[in-house]
Structure 1
Amino acid sequence: MHARAVAATTTALLGTAALLLPSSDVRAADDGERPTVIAHRGASAYAPENTLAAVDTAARLGIQWVENDVQRTKDGKLVVIHDDSLQRTTDVEQVFPSRAPWKVKDFTAAEIARLDAGSWFGPSYAGTHVPTLEQYVHRVDRNHQKLLLEIKNPTLYPGIEQQTLKVLSNEGWLDSGHLASRLIVQSFSADSVRTVHQLKPGVKTGLLGTPSVADLPALAQFTDQINPSHTTITTGYVATVHAFDGAHGKPLEVFAWTVNSAETARQVAGYGVDGLISNKPDVVRDATGGS
């Protein structure tokens, strides 16, 4: 724990609830700090989420960082999709009407590749597919972008952490250049984040959610970020997180989600967060001067 954590300990004595009360202590937007802007599921306000089209849209907008979700098929392939069901973002009900509830884990990669993952968003995206993780990282690399990868529902997919790291390694994403500045792996599961850190200590990691201040010392042993919903944080909470050094010896960072309006972006940037995850990353970037 860094010496700055003395201040965090003092704050912790006030109780986590106090930290989460509304705060008027909002950092000025002109203090020189500009948050990183991350395209949530790609630029998902403008193209179907978690598709190569969303990655390309983010690139056209000049957004360097994209976020995605990884789950596993029946035959053990990793695919990029948010829900554990295919129902919301594909035409699986029409293609496989008798296989409700249409869980990702109950379909092979070949079956999922048959699905239309774009028409639900708009007719111009008809024929868009659910990408494999390999296809996704190829496109991110081709666009010279950076990746915030979420391991989704890890309890449904035992061993998915090791498998994800293997795919990343096979595709060249665990070399020194990617590890230094182009890859973060996150999850809502502290156990999953800890596993990633243990398997590949060089990978930068993030824990989704808003853990209590009391839990931060233990979490800082294996994570580099605390990534909460923007509705759950204040200036005080962010400052307390920053007071701890994470797994790689640097202050814990905070990437807040999902921030979609200019007004909210300016407010949350004022809390001192390091990153803003958004469906409309261009709006957030323009509002905050972020990159």
Structure 2
Amino acid sequence: MPDNTAVKLRDRILNIAHRGARAFAPENTLEAFAKAHTIGCDMIELDVHLSADNEIIVHHDDNLLRCTDVKDKFPDRPSYFISDFYFEELNQLDAGSWFARELALPAESRQGFLQSLTPEEFARYISPQDLARYASGTINVPTLGQTLELSRNLGLWVNIELKMLPRMYPGLTDAVLDLVDEMGLQTDVLISSFDHEQLRRVRQRSPAVQTAVLTNERLALPGEYLQRIGADAFHPGTEPLGLHSLTRTLDAGAVSAVRKLDKRVNVWTCNDKDEMRQLIAAGVTGLISDYPNRVREVLDELGAMID
């Protein structure tokens, strides 16, 4: 371990629920964020887009086909991009039934992240009442305002990913910052993006809001790069850190370089416990996972070892 203090790992490493606890509830919904809280997460990660009437919408894909019934509700639309729908239309969509249908499939036929869901996890974290609600047609695509209100009530930090590539929403960054300022949550959010120019925009407008460089590519001198654009954290995927290489061995150099500058390293998407242990040993400060229960179990296991 990086040190032998008696401070529990959970006090030093953030358990971050990817799109909410999306292994156990429909991703990027209020239900997924509430489920993350029940599992004991510190932070939720979510994605934002702009609707046709400039409402900030929480959704991962830039179109609505995978996670809603948009084609049933609006069968004749020429486009299913979020930016082509008004909030009043988006609010009519069912964002939960697709997930209930996935869970009814054999594990090998589910979406990739759900293929490793164990029967024990299913039984523990997805109740019959949960399944009925997911299939009820009453779960909506939330706004960022609704989500931030929930997170404030639950005491959760929020990682807001600006989904600016490839669609480049005019005004999204400023709209998010305006809402964060209005709600007084400047120190409760972290803004990340693959479009690092947006992180520069955040820093120009707000010295209080933290930013994170999101990447799935290897960066040369990542610590120096973060300093140059004024970012507070590095959010690499597991691939550029070597965990999908031939040796499946972590290249800890990037983690070490960033941590030496007293900046955070939060890695996505970590669903494998052995990978989590390697990352923790390398000194990461957060694990972004579809299965935050597994993160909690690893933190408890390793925390007990150094107490």
- Give the TM-score normalised by the residue count of structure 1: 0.81
Q: For the residues of structure 2 that align with 1:72 and 1:30, how far apart are their CA atoms?
A: 46
Question: How much identity, in percent, do the aligned residues show?
Answer: 34
Q: Check if 1:235 corresponds to 2:252.
A: yes
Q: Check if 1:201 corresponds to 2:213.
A: no
Query: Which residue of 181, 191, 209 corresponds with 1:185?
Result: 191
Decide whether the 8 Å contact of 1:265 with 1:287 is kept in 2: yes
Q: Check if 1:116 corresponds to 2:94.
A: yes
**Residue identity opposite 2:176 in structure 1:** T
The SS at the match of 2:97 is coil
Query: Which residue of 23, 27, 41 corresponds with 1:45?
Result: 23
Q: CA deviation at 1:28?
A: 6.6
C-alpha change, 1:285 and 1:100, in structure 2 (3 Å) is farther
Residue in 2 aligned with 1:166?
178
Q: For the residues of structure 1 that align with 2:98 and 2:40, how far apart are their CA atoms?
A: 25
Residue in 2 aligned with 1:213?
220
The SS at the match of 1:205 is strand
The SS at the match of 1:50 is coil
Decide whether the 8 Å contact of 1:29 with 1:270 is kept in 2: no
Query: Which residue of 46, 51, 73 corresponds with 2:51?
Result: 73
Q: Check if 1:225 corresponds to 2:203.
A: no
**Residue identity opposite 1:185 in structure 2:** I
Decide whether the 8 Å contact of 2:199 with 2:231 is kept in 1: yes
Query: Which residue of 82, 88, 91 corresponds with 2:69?
Result: 91
Query: Which residue of 126, 150, 174 corresponds with 2:161?
Result: 150
Q: CA deviation at 1:212?
A: 2.0
Q: CA deviation at 1:97?
A: 1.0
Q: CA deviation at 1:215?
A: 5.6
Decide whether the 8 Å contact of 1:259 with 1:278 is kept in 2: yes
Q: What does the per-residue CA deviation read over 1:71-108, in whole Å, with 9 as the maximum and x for residues that have no partner?
A: 00001110100000011000001001111440000000
**Residue identity opposite 1:69 in structure 2:** D
Q: Check if 1:35 corresponds to 2:26.
A: no
Total equivalences in the alignment: 253
For the aligned residue pairs, the C-alpha RMSD in angstroms reads 2.0
Q: For the residues of structure 2 that align with 1:108 and 1:90, how far apart are their CA atoms?
A: 15
Residue in 1 aligned with 2:106?
none
**Residue identity opposite 2:233 in structure 1:** Q
List runs of 5+ in structure 2 lacking aligned partners: 101-130, 242-250
Question: 4+ residue runs of structure 1 moved beyond 4 angstroms?
Answer: 27-34
List runs of 5+ in structure 1 lacking aligned partners: 1-26, 245-250
